Amino acid sequence: MAKTRAVLVKDGRGPSDALYIGEVDKPTAKEGEVIVKVVAFGLNRADIHVRQSGGAGKALGYEFSGTVHELGAGVSGFDIGQAVLGLTSQGAYAEYVAAPVGNLLLKPQGLSWVEAAAIMENWLTAFQGLVLICDIQKGSDVLIHGGASGVSVAATQLARLYGASKVFTTVSSEDKVQFVKSLRGGATHAINYRTHDFVEEIKRETEGKGVSIIVDYIGQDYFKRNIDTLGIDGHLLILGLLSGFGFPSDASLLPLVFKRLNVHGSSLSTRSVEYQAALVARFKREVLDHFTPNEPGGVPLLQLKIWKVYPWQEVKEAHDAMEANKNQGKIILESSRIVWICLLSCISSLSSVDL
């Protein structure tokens, strides 16, 4: 079996020190799959959970950009060598990754490899949550926690794109307040949760009505306050449980009935291949074009905010930064070896041009 390199976790689980670049079997394309030669891949909070809990079993990582390397049986719509971005169930921290063909998109011209690697996990999660699950409507007021996180940067801009009126977001510092306010089409209200009570702020700003949608990753510690902040027929979408898994002892079920609330949990990675393909196809129709300007010299409606790019040899430092909640936007890793190969292939194609 041919070998390739990937980021692995020593003994299957552990702290960031346990991350290393090792050898794995090079993936081969099964029916309906494409093998992509990875140029850049995104870091997501879930990678940290998987590293700590030992759930991976192989290389970490959900999202990537790169070039099509091999097509499995029954695959159409892509050719070898095309630049793509994609989503997989595991294994993107690698030189080669396998993904279902429905989870790939052609890389829009004008996006860098790094930008392209920042789209699939965060933006599909936010798109699925706001549009498919919570049915966002023009004029909705929305609260998005963890405002500077990769998913929230996407959710904030998508909420505005789909016509939200007020978009509140919570963050832990003044720096992050400035960051979320600086986004084009970003939050209308940024609340530092260390110095302000988001329940009171939102009640005041919505004249007591509350918001119609809350996107939450905090879980236990925010459950009661989220319920208090929702208006009639509101939707609470729980995508993560950063503060704990338990049902808070101070929460009451009463408002769920009287305010007719909807509480949703969702996990993108556990959705079926068919569901993910349909989601990717709808995202392509409704959102993808907004990452690039619609006229020369223009500015795109949606901003990909890259906080930092690391070479993949520094994957430990990248995990440490996210674990310490330092990032404002997305962390991306690139393989310098692959970048070097791309550079060499560019030079060789230039040298074949008749000048």
Q: Which stretch binds ligand NAP (CB under 6 A): 26-34, 67-75, 236-244, 313-321?
A: 236-244
CB 211 within 8 A of CB 229: yes
Q: Is the CB of 71 or the CB of 177 nearer to ligand NAP?
A: 177
Residues sharing a CB contact under 8 Å with residue 353, sequence separation 6 or more, in sequence order: none
| Cα separations in angstroms, 154 against 211, 214, 342 | 19, 14, 29
Site string for ligand NAP, 297-326 (x = CB under 6 A): -------------------------x--x-
- How large is the angle between the packed helices 45-53 and 315-323, nearest 10 degrees? 100
Q: From CA 355, how far away is CA 346, in angstroms rounded? A: 15
Near ligand NAP by CB under 6 A: residue from 52, 188, 262, 266: 266
- Closest separation in Å from C-beta 116 to ligand NAP: 17
Among 243, 262, 292, 313, binds ligand NAP (CB under 6 A): 243
Closer CB to ligand NAP, 251 or 339, in the complex: 251
* Residue 161 in contact with ligand NAP, rule: CB under 6 A: no
Beta strand segments in 189-334, E? 189-192, 211-216, 230-238, 262-265, 306-311, 330-334
Of 155, 159, 169, the closest CA to residue 177 belongs to 169
Q: Does 156 bind ligand NAP (CB under 6 A)?
A: no
Task: Please give the Cα distance from 107 to 66 (Å, whole number).
Answer: 9
Whose CA is closest to 305, among 268, 339, 335, 332?
332
Taking CB atoms, the residue at the shortest distance from ligand NAP is: 240
Judged by CB under 6 A, the residue of 202, 268, 279, 287 near ligand NAP is 268
Q: Which is nearer to ligand NAP, 217 or 312 (CB)?
A: 217
Of residues 103 and 149, the one with the C-beta less far from ligand NAP: 149
Q: Rounded distance, CA 33 to CA 28, Å?
A: 9
Which uninterrupted H or E stretch holds 21?
Answer: strand 19-25
At 87, is the secondary structure helix, strand, or coil? strand
Stretch that binds ligand NAP, among 26-34, 95-103, 143-151, 294-302 (CB under 6 A): 143-151
Interaction pattern, residues 166-205, with ligand NAP; x per rule: CB under 6 A = -----xx---x-----------------------------
Give the tokens for residue 304: 């990909």
**Interface with ligand NAP (CB under 6 A), residue from 27, 61, 66, 146:** 146
- Using CB under 6 A as the binding rule, whether residue 216 contacts ligand NAP is answered as no
| CB of 342 vs ligand NAP, minimal distance in Å | 26
Q: CA–CA separation, 236 vs 130, rounded Å?
A: 10
Return the residues of window 19-58 that contact ligand NAP according to CB under 6 A: 44-46
Q: What is the DSSP letter of 271?
A: S
240, 303, 315, 318: which one binds ligand NAP (CB under 6 A): 240
**Only segment of 86-94, 103-111, 266-274, 295-303 that touches ligand NAP (CB under 6 A):** 266-274
Q: Is 225 in the site for ligand NAP (CB under 6 A)?
A: no
Number of H helices, E strands in the chain: 11, 15
- Return residues touching ligand NAP (CB under 6 A): 44-46, 121-122, 125, 146, 148-151, 171-172, 176, 217-218, 239-240, 242-243, 266-268, 322, 325, 327
